[in-house]
Amino acid sequence: MRLLLTGFEPFGKQDINSSEQVIQQLEGKSFEGVELFTAVLPVDRFDGPDKLLRKIMNIQPDAVISLGQAGGRHAISIERVAVNLLDYRIPDNGGNLETDKTIQVDGADAYFSTLPTRSMVNSLLENGIPAELSLSAGAFLCNQVMYEMLHHLKTFKQPTKAGFIHLPFLPEQAASETAVRPSMNLETQCKGIELCIQQLSTVKAVG
């Protein structure tokens, strides 16, 4: 199985991004039956989705897992749906600030993840890692890249499994915030994503 695993560069007031840190830790790691490709996406309305779609077209992966950071979440959140909406609370790294806009004018209102979402969550919980199914990927770049890749795969009738996973802050990120924020250490986050990758190899049905 050819797997593309992506994360995001830092944004907002943070100097690091938990998803980028996980990518750096897993890059080059061996997984049985998996050929792993990685990429870190820019937090930019145009460049982020463009880089992801170009990677998909060049690599032709069997599966794509995109990772992103969600400060304030206490668990690894397996996203189930992406909506056709851009509604940023802060500008992206390119200075773009979108409000009440559609991602694709002729696109579906929403697309569902084609990853084995419930099996992934169950696997994490069984291994003592906080995890949850989420029905909202937000309306910033995380939701956008999830929507864009699912729209692309649907449009070109590609059987690639794809979806998005949100990661909590790392402890050092939470400590830099003025308000108390939940966090999860890097080792646990990496173990969680490794378990998700294993589920791709063993679970056929989406759920």
Which strand (E) or helix (H) includes residue 193? helix 186-202
CA distance 135 to 112: 10
Catalytic residues: 79, 142, 166
pLDDT at 180: 82
Is 206's pLDDT higher than 60?
A: no
Say which residues have a Cβ less than 8 Å from residue 179's Cβ, sequence separation at least 6.
none
Is 110's pLDDT higher than 60?
A: yes
Strand (E) positions, 29-151?
35-41, 63-69, 76-79, 81-83, 110-112, 131-134
Domains in the chain and their CATH numbers? Answer: 2-202 (3.40.630.20)
pLDDT-based confidence at residue 183 (cuts at 50, 70, 90): very high
pTM greater than the 0.85 cutoff: yes
Which strand (E) or helix (H) includes residue 163? strand 161-167
Average pLDDT, the chain: 95
pLDDT-based confidence at residue 177 (cuts at 50, 70, 90): confident
If you average pLDDT over residues 140-166, what whole number do you get?
98
Taking CA atoms, 195 is separated from 39, 68, 111, 128, 137, in Å, by 19, 17, 24, 11, 21
Chain centre distance of CA 39: 12
pLDDT at 43: 98
pLDDT-based confidence at residue 205 (cuts at 50, 70, 90): very low
Task: Give pLDDT tens digits for 34-90.
Answer: 999 999 999 999 999 999 999 999 999 999 999 999 999 999 999 999 999 999 999
